[in-house]
Every structure is written in structure tokens, then in C-alpha cells.
């Protein structure tokens, strides 16, 4: 066998793939590991979505390639959604591009915009795919720290020489893993910054409908001038509990959409027609009551976790959004990775260690709210027993 390409050495295995392997081994040894690590929604999508998938799949004409840019009906539904939900007008043909999940678009955007030596500004504490895409493209990551209490990037702190090489900046609010949110004034400053420095703003926004306590999330595209410099990634995974369906879209600047399509159309051939049709049903027929009822389930789990934190050595802000509680490890003898390792081995409860999300996450662990409340309570009880006698 030939040796693999050098680029693999700059591309570590996806962190969760390694953790899953560990958990499988422990389960194989007869342990019952409870996973608080991965953010895969455990509840189903609305019934109408599944019915729409079936109905569309019954159409004999729906089994060929559905087009590199998806169906025009799907693009129109996304454009309608942005108008109704955010008051943002986009052209469905030039400013909307369906994706095989937003993760695909996140990585391909780096391939479209970064040459060797180009810089991407990546939040240190953030979703791992931003930096992985940059490494795959051969670009350089410049970490922009996100820190307590607001977890917003300090744009003025980016050095001038870095700015000159920067092509791309990633932001994600509501934020995974911290649960932090951003308002329109933040997006406006960001859009102005990107216009001034000729940087493409990439806003990853999968949690816009996973919010609590009356909070309503916005879109980066609501800022004035955003369509000149910004592209936003929307996803069906968290909004409609459709993570396994791999459906999302890029929305925004027409050049960014065109360049992303140029990469994408050479890599994949779009989705199954029935998945687009089911997506249209999700976006057009899901009412706010369904979203609210689903979020009430997550919120109850969130509060269960928050109440237990003092007894398991963690401290957290109350997240207004996202599927996670971001816990700071209070014991100075442990960092997040050690805490996660100890709890996995001794309590058989797995956390995502905060360092997965960048160097600034070292002292934290991420707790996912994607499991049934009785199982969550069982995990917390085990952790309390373990932590008290550690």
C-alpha cells in the first residue's frame, strides 16, 4: 500500500469518531455507557415530512439526478423562509444553494476560497469543521478567541498582517458549544469589518430555532450590506430533527454561492428528489407550536443538567439557545479532557472534552441535551456518586 497524502497528517481524525470508538470498546466490555457527548437530535421530525418523503419517492420520475443546484421548488422554499423568518430577500436562483448537510458546505467553502498561505479567521471555541476545512484546503487557521462571558470575537484584536492574508471568517450564533447568542448590532459590526477588509463572512446558523425562555435568534443576513460579503449556512438537522437526512442550504452572496457550486458540482451530484420535497414540507408546514413544544423538551433537560452541576464539579451559564450546556471544570487539578476521561472510565458517562472546540476550550466539557430525560437523570446520578468519592 502506498503511504497516504501528506494532507492527512494535518487533518486529525474527526474528534467524535475517536470518542465513539472508545465508547464502543467500553460497551463491548459489558459497560453501559451513557453518551452526553454528541449533538444528534433524538426526537423525530414532524409526521408530514416523512409522509412527503414517501409520496415523492412513489413518483417514478423522482429517482434520477435531481440537479447540482437541487430543485427550483426547494430553492424557492428556502428563499421564502428567509423572507418570512428574517425579512431577508434573496434570489432563489443565484443566492440559494442546497447542501448535503451544512457540514459539507462548510468544508467546501474553504476549498473554494483558500489557497496555500491564505488565512481563515476561525473562532477558538467553535465547531471543528471550520478548521478542518481550512487544513484540507492548505490554508492557515488564525484563532480568534471567544471567551466568557459573551463569547463574541474581538475583531479589533486581529493583527494587521493577518488581516491582509485573511479571506474568510467563521462565526456561529447561537453557538455550539457555548450556547452564546449574537444580536443584530454584532452582525452589523461584523459585516462592516468584512467589507472594510475584503473578507467573506461565513455565518453558520443551524440553531436559529433551538432557543429557550422566549429568545428569538436572528440571521447575519439581516445586517445592512450583508449580501455583499456574507453567506449563511442553514440546516434542517437541528431545526426539524433531521440530522440523518443530510439537508441544508447556503444562502447569501451570489459570488460565494457560484464558487461554492463550482467545487460542489465536481464533488457530489446533489440530493435525492424526495429529500428535497420532504424538506419543502418541513419548511412550509411546520408551525411554531411544533418548534416550541420540541424546545420545551430540551429546556426541561437543560434545567435538569443545570441543577446537577454543583454536585458534579461543573459551572455553566444558562444557555438561551443550542443543544448544549458548556460546563467549566471547577477542580483545578483537572482540565476538561481529564474530567471527561475520569467520568468515562469511572462513571461510564461520556462528555465531549472542550479542547475539541479549540485551545480555549481546555478547561470545559460539553454536555448534550439530546437524550431522554430519564437517561439523562441516570447519568447525572452516576456522576454525583463518582464525583463525591473521586
Ligand X SMILES: *Cc1c(COP(=O)(O)O)cnc(C)c1O
Which residues contact ligand X by CB under 6 A?
Answer: 39, 101-103, 127, 172, 176, 204, 206, 235, 237-238, 243, 248
Give the phi and the psi of residue 282 in degrees, each rounded to 5.
-60, -45
Nearer to ligand X, 110 or 172 (CB): 172
Q: How far is the CB of 104 from ligand X (least distance, A)?
A: 7
- In the bound state with ligand X, the residue whose beta carbon lies nearer, of 123 and 139, is 123
Q: How far apart are CA 17 and CA 6, in angstroms?
A: 21
Q: Which is nearer to ligand X, 86 or 324 (CB)?
A: 324
Output the nine-digit C-alpha cell for 355. 479542547
Nearer to ligand X, 124 or 204 (CB): 204
Which CB sits closer to ligand X, 133 or 139?
133
Exposure letters 25-61 (e unless 16+ CB within 10 A, then b): eeeeeeeebbbbbbbbbeeebbeebeebbeebbeeee
For residues 317 and 295, what is the distance between their CA atoms, to the nearest angstrom? 18
Q: Smallest distance from the beta carbon of 269 to ligand X, in angstroms?
A: 18
Phi and psi (nearest 5°) for 169? -130, 135
Report, in Å, the least distance between residue 105 CB and ligand X: 8
Q: How far is CA 5 from CA 2, 10, 132, 263, 267, in A?
A: 9, 10, 15, 20, 18
In this structure, the dihedral spanned by the alpha carbons of residues 23, 210, 90 and 203, taken in order and rounded to 10 degrees, is -50
**With respect to ligand X, which residue has the nearer C-beta, 102 or 295?**
102
Amino acid at each position: 500500500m502506498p503511504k497516504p497524502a501528506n494532507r492527512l497528517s494535518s487533518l486529525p481524525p474527526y474528534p467524535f469518531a475517536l470518542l465513539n470508538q472508545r465508547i464502543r470498546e467500553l460497551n463491548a466490555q459489558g459497560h453501559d455507557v451513557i453518551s452526553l457527548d454528541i449533538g444528534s437530535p433524538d426526537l423525530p421530525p414532524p409526521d408530514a415530512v416523512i409522509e412527503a418523503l414517501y409520496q415523492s419517492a412513489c413518483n417514478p420520475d423522482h429517482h434520477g439526478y435531481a440537479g447540482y443546484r437541487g430543485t427550483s421548488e426547494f430553492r424557492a422554499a428556502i428563499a421564502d423562509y428567509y423572507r418570512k423568518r428574517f425579512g431577508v430577500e434573496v434570489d432563489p436562483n443565484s443566492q440559494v444553494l442546497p447542501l448535503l448537510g451544512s457540514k459539507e458546505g462548510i468544508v467546501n467553502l474553504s476549498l473554494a476560497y483558500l489557497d496555500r498561505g491564505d488565512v481563515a479567521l476561525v473562532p477558538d471555541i467553535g465547531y471543528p469543521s471550520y478548521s478542518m476545512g481550512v487544513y484540507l484546503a492548505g490554508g492557515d487557521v488564525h484563532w480568534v478567541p471567544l471567551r466568557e462571558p459573551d463569547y463574541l470575537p474581538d475583531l479589533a484584536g486581529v493583527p494587521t498582517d493577518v488581516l491582509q492574508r485573511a479571506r474568510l471568517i467563521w462565526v456561529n450564533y447561537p453557538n455550539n458549544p457555548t450556547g452564546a447568542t449574537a444580536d443584530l448590532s454584532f452582525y452589523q459590526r461584523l459585516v462592516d469589518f468584512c467589507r472594510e477588509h475584503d473578507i467573506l463572512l461565513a455565518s453558520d446558523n443551524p440553531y436559529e430555532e433551538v432557543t429557550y425562555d422566549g429568545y428569538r435568534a436572528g440571521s447575519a443576513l439581516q445586517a445592512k450590506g450583508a449580501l455583499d460579503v456574507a453567506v449563511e449556512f442553514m440546516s434542517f438537522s437541528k431545526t426539524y430533527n433531521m440530522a440523518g437526512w443530510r439537508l441544508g442550504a447556503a444562502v447569501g452572496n451570489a459570488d460565494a454561492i457560484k464558487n461554492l457550486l463550482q467545487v460542489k458540482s465536481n464533488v457530489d451530484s446533489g440530493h435525492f428528489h424526495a429529500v428535497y420535497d420532504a424538506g419543502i414540507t418541513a419548511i412550509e408546514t411546520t408551525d411554531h407550536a411544533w418548534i416550541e413544544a420540541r424546545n420545551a423538551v430540551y429546556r426541561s433537560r437543560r434545567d435538569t443538567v443545570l441543577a446537577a452541576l454543583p454536585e458534579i464539579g461543573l459551572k455553566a451559564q444558562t444557555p438561551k439557545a443550542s443543544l448544549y450546556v458548556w460546563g467549566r471544570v471547577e477542580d483545578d487539578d483537572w482540565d476538561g479532557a481529564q474530567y471527561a476521561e475520569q467520568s468515562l472510565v469511572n462513571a461510564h458517562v461520556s462528555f465531549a472534552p472542550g479542547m475539541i472546540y479549540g485551545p480555549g476550550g481546555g478547561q470545559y466539557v460539553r454536555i448534550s441535551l439530546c437524550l431522554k430525560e430519564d437517561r439523562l437523570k441516570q447519568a447525572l446520578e452516576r456522576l454525583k456518586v463518582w464525583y463525591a468519592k473521586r
